């Protein structure tokens, strides 16, 4: 028993040191799945920051010139777009792998587009025989792929995941685009991607569990611009929501442009400001005053279209508006049940929503089944379960494959099963904790006697970790779950561990 405890303590100390180093450093987005979409998000951030000075200095000129150019436009955007042949100066694509989605939450599918079949994640069939609303969500950044961002931790001050929709019960589709994830075609920088979004609608509308009359479109940053251009291209969507869209493509990071930059028409076909009159669908554009607000002001002053609604959130930036307001939009979608779209949004209700306290949602969980022990339990889908057993013992360490500064990624769980020959049982564990001055709570799990202990552990570097220990006496086997989280996170991690414990079930 002592050797096992010593080895476990060493594992905890090593993991704790890693966690503390990560928590105190400037974090980078790390993925063992190619990092495509998450790195795209970071690219969007850099691009927006690089372009901010240019946006502010040119805002006044944009307002007057755009009015003239838009008024002179004689073709609809759909007509102009379909008649135009883009010229790509660079033929860029990628073959980033697509992670398997959580079973029962999302399905990996392929939808048909003009260039061929493109990958997407789409919410799994709820299996209730009903038709449900669905939103197609487009993340920021210039990449055309998808990875596991939909079920990563949604930071309250920068939640680009769109997870507020599916967590609220709105089915969600995350499309990849031409050139991404090994898809046919090349990056077209806001041109062909518009066709892809129209094709994504057609796929979503074909699903038997989706209401084809209640399909919405939303996006952030570059994704917001793609959404706005798509609203100008087609009226298929019931409503469109765009966060942080730009009015002209030149205000994006031009190092990402793949088209012929010597041709002014190429810019025009990718710039929403020239095609605002083509929007036939209720379209809601949102941005923080510290973000791309000059672009949104330009759109608002240029537009004479009653379908376009603009909202600037004072004191907020390009990212902080997402978490609170996507939750508002999710509820608007759920309540939008009439024959026609009846979504109405006021500046006042958005301002009020920005005042709400941060929400920490539970992660997507996956099930672990240990047939030899006759036990099932769930743990976060983004955690790896590493076998650290030695000499025939049963011992696992569960840790996130990311290193972000949040309770999902900074937690660690140790699972152990003490066999009869190890001479450890629930009573011995209880006496050991009580000898250390801990309060032990007697509980029952799955009909078996159990105990729960809250305590603190200090590392050699004087960092304090909160630990929660749960032991279950299943016949002659002691099964234990031991959870570790740095004290800086307080009690925020309790619901996560509680969800793991509440998921425990034993084979009959």
CATH code of the domain containing 383: 3.40.1000.10
- Fill in the DSSP letter of residue 48: H
**pLDDT over 70 (residue 174):** yes
Residue 171 · residue 134 · CB < 8 Å? yes
Distances (CA, A) of 226 to 18, 113, 270, 301, 456: 39, 16, 9, 20, 49
Residue 1 · residue 423 · CB < 8 Å? yes
Where does a domain end: 300, 324, 353? 353
315 in the Ramachandran plot: left (φ > 0), alpha (ψ -120 to 50) or beta? Answer: left
Q: Are residues 311 and 369 in the same domain?
A: no
Per-residue confidence at 15, pLDDT binned at 50, 70, 90? Answer: low
Q: Are residues 162 and 258 in the same domain?
A: yes
pLDDT digit string (tens) for 220-256? 999 999 999 999 999 999 999 999 999 999 988 788 8
Q: Are residues 71 and 201 in the same domain?
A: yes
pLDDT score of 44: 40
Residue 475 · residue 416 · CB < 8 Å? no
Span of 16-20, 162-166, 218-222 with lowest mean pLDDT: 16-20
Residue 151 · residue 163 · CB < 8 Å? yes
Per-residue confidence at 172, pLDDT binned at 50, 70, 90? Answer: very high
Q: Are residues 254 and 380 in the same domain?
A: no
Mean pLDDT of 324-331: 98
Which residue, 309, 443, 422, is CA-closest to 5? 422
Mean pLDDT of 82-111: 97
Report the distance separating Cα 90 and Cα 6, nearest Å: 57
**pLDDT over 50 (residue 271):** yes
24's tokens = 């105190």
Per-residue confidence at 119, pLDDT binned at 50, 70, 90? Answer: very high
Q: Are residues 325 and 457 in the same domain?
A: no
Per-residue confidence at 33, pLDDT binned at 50, 70, 90? Answer: very low
159's tokens = 């939640």
**pLDDT over 90 (residue 103):** yes
Residue 264 · residue 108 · CB < 8 Å? no
Residue 76's Cα: distance from chain center in Å?
A: 34
Find the domain containing 400 and state its range: 2-30+362-506
Q: Looking at the chain, how many residues does it have?
A: 508
Which residue, 324, 417, 404, 347, is CA-closest to 375? 417
Report the distance separating Cα 265 and Cα 261, nearest Å: 9
pLDDT score of 73: 52
Q: Is 212 exposed, middle or buried, given 0-12, 13-18 or 19+ CB atoms closer than 10 A?
A: middle
CATH code of the domain containing 321: 3.40.50.1820
Per-residue confidence at 30, pLDDT binned at 50, 70, 90? Answer: very low
4's tokens = 């096992």
**pLDDT over 60 (residue 325):** yes
Report the distance separating Cα 4 and Cα 8, nearest Å: 6
pLDDT score of 268: 97
pLDDT digit string (tens) for 406-459? 899 999 999 999 999 999 999 999 999 999 999 999 999 999 999 999 999 988
Q: Are residues 347 and 484 in the same domain?
A: no
Q: Please state whether beta strands 505-506 and 116-123 pair in parallel, antiparallel, or not at all (unpaired).
A: unpaired
Q: Are residues 173 and 45 in the same domain?
A: yes
Report the distance separating Cα 245 and Cα 210, nearest Å: 27
Q: What is the mean pLDDT of the chain?
A: 88
352's tokens = 């009020």
Report the distance separating Cα 445 and Cα 480, nearest Å: 12
Q: Are residues 205 and 324 in the same domain?
A: yes
pLDDT score of 8: 53
Total domain count for the chain? 2
Three-state DSSP state, 483: strand
**pLDDT over 80 (residue 487):** yes
Residue 186 · residue 88 · CB < 8 Å? yes
pLDDT digit string (tens) for 138-155? 999 989 999 999 999 889
Where does a domain end: 317, 332, 353? 353
What are residue 219's DSSP bridge partners?
A: 138, 242
The H-or-E segment that residue 179 falls in is none
Q: Are residues 320 and 345 in the same domain?
A: yes
pLDDT digit string (tens) for 199-221? 999 999 999 999 999 999 999 99
Q: Are residues 325 and 416 in the same domain?
A: no
77's tokens = 């955007």
pLDDT score of 46: 37
Mean pLDDT of 302-326: 98
State the chain's maximal CA–CA distance in angstroms: 86
Q: What is the number of other CB atoms lying within 10 angstroms of the CB of residue 331?
A: 14
Where does a domain end: 353, 382, 410? 353
pLDDT score of 506: 96
What are residue 119's DSSP bridge partners?
A: 110
pLDDT digit string (tens) for 351-378? 999 999 998 889 999 999 999 999 999 9
Q: Are residues 62 and 189 in the same domain?
A: yes
pLDDT score of 190: 97
Per-residue confidence at 28, pLDDT binned at 50, 70, 90? Answer: very low
Q: Are residues 25 and 53 in the same domain?
A: no
Mean pLDDT of 295-312: 98
Residue 168 · residue 331 · CB < 8 Å? yes
Span of 42-51, 163-172, 383-392, 402-411 with lowest mean pLDDT: 42-51
The H-or-E segment that residue 246 falls in is none
The H-or-E segment that residue 445 falls in is strand 440-445
Per-residue confidence at 265, pLDDT binned at 50, 70, 90? Answer: very high
Mean pLDDT of 281-288: 98
């Amino acid at each position: 028993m002592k050797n096992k405890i010593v080895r476990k303590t060493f594992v905890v100390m090593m993991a704790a040191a890693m966690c503390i180093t990560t928590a105190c450093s400037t974090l980078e987005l790390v993925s063992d799945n190619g990092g495509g979409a998450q790195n795209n998000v970071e690219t969007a951030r850099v691009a927006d920051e690089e372009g901010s000075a240019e946006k502010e200095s040119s805002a006044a000129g944009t307002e007057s010139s755009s009015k003239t150019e838009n008024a002179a436009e004689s073709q609809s955007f759909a007509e102009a777009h379909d008649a135009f042949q883009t010229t790509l100066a660079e033929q860029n694509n990628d073959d980033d792998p697509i992670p398997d989605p959580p079973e029962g939450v999302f399905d990996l599918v392929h939808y048909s587009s003009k260039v061929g079949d493109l990958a997407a994640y789409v919410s799994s069939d709820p299996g209730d025989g009903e038709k449900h609303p669905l939103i197609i969500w487009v993340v920021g950044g210039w990449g055309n792929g998808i990875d596991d961002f939909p079920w990563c931790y949604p930071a309250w001050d920068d939640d680009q995941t769109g997870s507020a929709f599916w967590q609220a019960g709105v089915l969600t589709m995350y499309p990849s685009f031409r050139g991404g994830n090994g898809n046919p075609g090349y990056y077209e920088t806001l041109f062909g991607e518009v066709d892809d979004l129209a094709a994504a609608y057609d796929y979503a509308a074909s699903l038997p569990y989706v209401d084809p009359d209640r399909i919405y479109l939303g996006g952030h940053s570059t994704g917001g611009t793609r959404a706005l251009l798509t609203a100008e291209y087609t009226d298929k969507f019931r409503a469109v929501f765009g966060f942080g869209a730009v009015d002209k493509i030149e205000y994006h990071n031009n190092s990402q442009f793949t088209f012929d930059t010597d041709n002014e028409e190429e810019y025009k076909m990718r710039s929403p400001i020239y095609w605002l009159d083509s929007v036939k669908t209720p379209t809601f554009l949102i941005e923080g005053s510290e973000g791309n607000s000059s672009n949104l002001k330009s759109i608002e002053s240029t537009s004479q279209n009653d379908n376009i609604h603009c909202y600037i959130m004072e004191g907020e930036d390009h990212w902080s508006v997402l978490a609170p307001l996507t939750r508002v939009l999710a509820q608007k979608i759920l309540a939008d049940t009439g024959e026609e779209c009846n979504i109405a949004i006021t500046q006042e209700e958005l301002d009020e929503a920005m005042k709400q306290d941060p929400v920490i949602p539970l992660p997507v969980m996956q099930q672990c089944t240990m047939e030899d022990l006759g036990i099932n339990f769930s743990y976060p889908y983004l955690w790896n379960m590493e076998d650290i057993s030695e000499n025939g013992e049963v011992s696992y360490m569960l840790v996130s494959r990311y290193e972000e500064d949040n309770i999902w990624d900074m937690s660690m769980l140790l699972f152990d099963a003490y066999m009869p020959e190890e001479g450890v049982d629930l009573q011995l564990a209880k006496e050991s904790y009580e000898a250390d001055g801990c309060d032990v709570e007697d509980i029952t799990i799955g009909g078996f006697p159990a105990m729960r202990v809250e305590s603190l552990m200090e590392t050699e570097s004087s960092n304090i970790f909160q630990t929660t220990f749960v032991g279950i006496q299943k016949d002659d086997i002691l099964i234990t779950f031991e959870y570790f989280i740095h004290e800086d996170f307080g009690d925020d991690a309790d619901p996560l561990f509680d969800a793991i414990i509440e998921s425990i079930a034993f084979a009959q």
